[in-house]
Structure 1
Amino acid sequence: MAQDEASVSVRPGPRHVAIIMDGNGRWATMRGRPRLFGHHAGARRVREIVEACPDLGVKYLTIFGFSTENWKRTQIEVAGLMSLFRSYIRKEARALRDQNVRVRFIGDRPGLDHKLQALMDELEEMTAHCTGTNLTIALNYGGRDEVARATKRLAEDVAAGRLNPADIDVETLPKYLDTCVLPDPDLVIRTSGEARISNFLLWQSAYAEYDFVDTLWPDFSREVFGRAIESYSCRDRRFGGVKG
């Protein structure tokens, strides 16, 4: 039975939005261009979405740039993506700082090349004082890998006597995750029509709302983003409980 529009409870928008930016390759293929053409178009789209966050009430934005599984792609595509990441940081660093955007990176950083790591460190340091939008970029990131690395660090603390096993609970592991200083995402968006989470923020998204949109990432405009935020605001989040 359709719910009367007047009875829909409008709630505050999401504070933290995470996005799986999918569809760059297909977008390029549809235009008869190589996949890297689509990745460059997708990188340009990031700026528009970051700039839209303040007006939409989004304080934290986390984007999935490169997964631990993406190394399986062709050497040409991987090399092109690494070059794109370096270029993006160099081109956008000053604009991000001037827009008061704080940038963080999550993922297995030692698995990336040293030049890229140095640029990541520099951008984090450059924007550490910023108090506006918090942009987190996941590079060489996988949810299972993150949990495994966190568990290893937790086990090391137990072995060293810094942590009592009896004190470990569901609040303990998040302190060891890459996202330990971030709130959990309220809304996870995946573009391009695919309906899977692809090993992204597995622990953190336990109670996130999901929105799988058909739009390919290079076409994911401020307007599409706004509609996703509006849709979220009409959802009833119960976190396992019931009304009343």
Structure 2
Amino acid sequence: MYTLNHVFKTYPSTEALTDISFSVENGEIVGVVGKSGSGKSTLLRLLNLLEVPTSGEVVIENRDSKELSKNETRKQKQNIGMVFQQYNLLNNLTVKENVALPLKMVKQKKDAWVDELLTFVGMAHKSQSYPAQLSGGEKQRVALARALVRQPDVLLCDEATSSLDEQNTDEVVRLLQKTHQEFGITIFFVSHELETVKKLCQRVLVMEAGKLLGEVENQPVDIQMNDSSYLETVQRRLAR
């Protein structure tokens, strides 16, 4: 699915990513964790094809992202769903209209599929409500349905639970697990919340200061973010 080979991403004032290499197979649930400024957001922009690396390769289904034409990039983006921290719902559209929006943008109409997704995320009863009438957890359920409406192969979650309380976080995590089981979709879960990552992800990529410190397997544990050595903390508390 994804292979990154010695990826660097440099901006005029900083080197955001330094020599990043890893591979992710179809159907994996991979966590990307790191403190603020670790490079998580930049990595996500490379994975969703909003940017290309300064050097190195981001290979998607055996194609280097830098070699894709504009049309190929557009088609590949349609295979990637996004779930954001702040939901990104349009306040002037109903729940159903928000979910259907990605289809409308490509001149498709699939009312039955939209209704099915709203049932899947437990929001069918709010289909005619507006975002202002929803709780944070409900908004994120709608956002997930919208991300799935084009039936993507990859789901990128950018701090998708960071704005939620513990109960709603657990509900969204269970829904992502259900999504993985039902659709076999590849999930990247980008977060600074290790407690949440350990509930969902099979494998964890640990980042700090633009570098990939290592990969560890997930094992449920209590995690604190203020330990002096971030990689050692994650390895000790996530890995077997």
Q: What range describes the TM-score normalised by the shorter chain of this pair? A: 0.3 to 0.5
Question: TM-score, normalised on structure 1?
Answer: 0.32
Give the alignment's TM-score, normalised by structure 2: 0.33
| Greater C-alpha radius of gyration | 1
Higher relative contact order (CA 8 A, sep 6+): 1
- Relative to total residues, which structure has the larger strand share, 1 or 2? 2
Structure with more helix by fraction: 1
